[in-house]
Amino acid sequence: MTWETVIGIETHVELTTASKMFCGCPVDFGAPPNTNVCPVCLGLPGALPVVNGRAVEYAMTIGLALNCSIAPHSVFARKNYFYPDMPKNYQISQYDEPLCVAGHLDVDTDGEVARIGITRVHMEEDTGKSTHVGDGGRIQAASHSLLDFNRAGVPLMEIVSEPDLRSPEQARAFVAELRGVILRLGVSDAKLEEGSMRFDANVSLRPSGSTEFGTKVEVKNMNSLRSLQRALEHEVERQQALLDAGEPVVQETRHWNEDAGTTSGMRSKEEAFDYRYFPEPDLVPVEVDDAWRERVAGALPELPAQARARYASAGLDPVAADLVSRDPAAGTIFEEATAAGADAQTVANWLTGEVTALLRRQDLSLEQSGVTGAGLAELAEMVDDGRLSASAAKEVLAGVVAGEGNPESIAAERDLIQVSDVSALEPVVEEVLAANPDAVAKLHEGDGKVIGFLIGQVMRATGGKADPAAVTAILRGKSA
């Protein structure tokens, strides 16, 4: 029997508001433990929440960008469960009346576009952070745990997809596109490794052609796009093996172990899922009228799909178009560089190639790198007019990232400008030819291979600064 894969994804995104969802504590990452706390986010007796208006706008922005309907009336609810890093032992969330419902996001996998339904987007608050102490931090063997409540109450958006994804690859593409949308909107830094964007997946298999869903398994703990795809591939294989062997799939939550490359079941208590939701009496409903919705909709920036279409029509290859349309920093640099006259594909190649590689090696973000559109345009121009070799250009780029200045000054400083002026190169070529009569003879006999040797001699004579293209042209002229 052949099986069809069915995947739905729940994504959580922390918003980059200045203050928390329900109190004025700052949202900044990396503050000393338990310093960004107040009576509200610590759940002290008597404290009350007040909704951060900007968080609501950000949530609407996400909903509108995902083609959702904005509910004219939505309410907050208490989701009740005990967990030590959740100060009130209930999470303020939204339940049966969320802010955004029934949207979709188009996902392109190798040129095939699928429309993935968005069930809902709702607002809630993040929990604190627990660190497990003893036995290498593994939760099962820890002796005790330490709690830091700085993240408790940070605005968190939950984005729930329909089970419309049909492969791990498509699931990965969906999350990548969703992340692009979030980044373009500027409502979250959506950092997977820092947890400001995280996702869980529901996976099930069903006989091809069936319209009923199989038993689903929730997979957690993937913290990169790659690990998402790997975890899903593994889970699909695991379920397929079970089904092929005639064994049932158990509905459960499984934990992805990145190092082992496997998922393992998590123990869950029988009543763990009775959240006893009820409307949050400390907060009043959110009502969005047409005017408010229109104002937020009118302020939406260009989304990745629109940007990608624009870039594609300008002739950019798909990989480059993806990068500059999903990553707003890359997009800005790209726009600046092309506006400064650089060739679009050249800039795109730089961004997808050497820039990305360099940043990965140095573990830097584009924003931190010092790379600008003007700088890339300058670099591209220098390569284009032969003043920089490809390898010298990489060195100049490294200099830019190291904060040494603009490409022109770095190239000069590091003595990387190559000579392509024919009048300057001509005498050197003459000298080389005079010193190598044998080679000259071969050249005249039409031996093409000898030209490489002669170019090498010229390069040696110029200390490597001659433009090989210019030298070749001169030599060809001599041989004709």
Partner 1 sequence: MPVEIDIAKVARLARLSLTDEQLERYRVQCEVVLEHAARVQALPTEGVAPTSHPLPRTNVFREDEVAECLDREEVLAAAPDRDGDYFLVPRILDE
Partner 2 sequence: MSDLADLSVGGAAAGLRAGEFTAVELLEAVHRRAAVTEAELHAYLTIDRDGAARAAVAADSALRAADDPGPLLGIPVALKDNMVTRGVETTCSSKILSGYRPPYDGTAVSRLRAGGAVIFGKTNLDEFAMGSSTENSAYGPTRNPWDPERVPGGSSGGSAAAVAAGSAMIAYGSDTGGSIRQPAALCGIVGVKPTYGLVSRYGLIAFASSLDQIGPLTRTVEDAVAALEVVGGHDPADSTSYPGSFPDMRSGLEAGVSGLRIGVVAELNGAGIDPAVQAAVDETVAGLERAGATVVPVSLPSVAYALSAYYLIAPAECSANLARFDGVRYGLRRHGETVEEMMSTTRGEGFGPEVTRRILLGTYALSAGYYDAFYGQAQRVRTLIIQDFADAYEQADVLVSPTSPTTAFPLGARTEDPLSMYLSDVCTIPSNMSGDPAISVPVGVDENGLPVGFQIMAPALGEPVMMRVAAEVERQAGFTARARLATSEVG
Binding site for partner 1 (CB under 8 A): 17-19, 23-26, 32-39, 42, 50-56, 73, 75, 82, 84, 89, 130-134, 139, 142-149, 220, 255, 266-269, 271, 274, 276, 278-279, 281, 283-287
CB of 75 to partner 2, least distance (A): 12
Q: Kind of pairing, strands 197-207 and 69-70?
A: unpaired
Q: Which partner in partner 2, partner 1, none is near 318 (CB below 5 to 8 A by kind)?
A: none
Residue closer to partner 2, measured from CB, 51 or 102: 51
Q: How far is the CB of 55 from partner 1 (least distance, A)?
A: 7
Minimum CB distance to partner 1, residue 190 (Å): 19
Answer with the entry of partner 2, partner 1, none that 43 interacts with (C-beta below 5 to 8 A by kind): partner 2
C-alpha separations of 71 from 285, 286, 392 in Å: 11, 9, 56
Select the residue interacting with partner 2 from 31, 102, 283, 374 (CB under 8 A). Answer: 283
Query: Which residues have a Cβ under 8 Å from the Cβ of 20 and sit 6 or more positions away?
Result: 26, 27, 36, 40, 41, 52, 125, 153, 154, 155
Nearer to partner 2, 58 or 90 (CB): 90
Binding-site partner at residue 213 among partner 1, partner 2, none, CB < 5 to 8 Å by type: none
Considering the complex, state which of residue 52 and residue 202 has its C-beta at the smaller distance from partner 1.
52
Nearest to 182 by CA among 172, 193, 191, 170: 191
As measured in angstroms, the least distance from the Cβ of 138 to partner 2 is 15
Our finding on whether 44 is near partner 2 (CB under 8 A) is yes
Three-state DSSP at 369 gives: helix
Helix or strand holding residue 264 (H, E): strand 262-265
**Closer residue to partner 1, CB minimum distance, 73 or 361:** 73
Q: What is the C-alpha separation between 477 and 471, in angstroms, rounded?
A: 10
At residue 44, what is the residue type?
Answer: L
Query: Going residue by residue from 171 to 200, which x/- string records binding to partner 2, judged by CB under 8 A?
Result: ------------------------------
Tell me: does residue 284 bind partner 2 (CB under 8 A): yes
3-state secondary structure 201-244: EEEEEEECCCCCCCCCEEEEEECCHHHHHHHHHHHHHHHHHHHH
CB within 8 Å of 200: residues ≥ 6 apart:
9, 10, 218, 219, 220
Nearest approach in angstroms of CB 99 to partner 2 is: 16
Look at residue 47 and give the partner it binds from partner 2, partner 1, none, a contact being a CB closer than 5 to 8 Å depending on partner kind: partner 2
39 or 261: CB nearest partner 2: 39
Query: Where does residue 321 rank: exposed (0-12), middle (13-18), buried (19+ CB within 10 A)?
Result: buried
In angstroms, rounded to a whole number, what is the distance separating the alpha carbons of residues 29 and 17? 12
Answer yes or no whether residue 270 interacts with partner 2 by CB under 8 A: no
**Site for partner 2 contains 267 (CB under 8 A):** no
Written in H, E and C, the secondary structure of 287-327 is ECCHHHHHHHHHCCCCCHHHHHHHHHHCCCCHHHHHHHHHC
Interacting residues of 7 by C-beta distance below 8 A, sequence separation 6+: 163, 165, 166, 167, 168, 170, 171, 201, 202, 203, 232
Q: Which does 48 bind (CB under 5 to 8 A by kind): partner 1, partner 2, none?
A: partner 2
Residue type (1 letter), 98? P
Instruction: Pick what 52 binds: partner 2, partner 1, none; C-beta below 5 to 8 Å, kind-dependent.
Output: partner 1
> Is position 48 an interface residue for partner 2 (rule: CB under 8 A)?
yes
Please give the Cα distance from 187 to 145 (Å, whole number). Answer: 32
User: Which of partner 1, partner 2, none lies near 255, with the C-beta cut-off 5 to 8 A by kind?
Assistant: partner 1
CB of 90 to partner 2, least distance (A): 5
Tell whether residue 141 is a contact of partner 2 (CB under 8 A).
no
Q: Which does 294 bind (CB under 5 to 8 A by kind): partner 2, partner 1, none?
A: none
19: which DSSP letter?
B
**Which partner from the list partner 2, partner 1, none does 90 bind, CB cut-off 5 to 8 Å by kind?**
partner 2
Q: What does 36 bind: partner 2, partner 1, none (CB cut-off 5 to 8 Å by kind)?
A: partner 1
Closest to partner 1 by CB, 23 vs 228, is: 23
The answer to whether 128 and 156 have CB atoms below 8 angstroms apart is no
- Tell me the backbone φ, ψ of residue 326, rounded to 5 degrees: -90, -30
Among 30, 32, 46, 463, binds partner 2 (CB under 8 A): 46
Q: How many CB atoms lie within 10 A of CB 437?
A: 9
Smaller CB distance to partner 2: residue 39 or 207? 39
- CB 64, min distance to partner 1, A: 18
Q: Which residues bind partner 2 (CB under 8 A)?
A: 39, 42-51, 78, 80, 82, 84, 87-90, 145, 147, 274, 276-278, 281-284
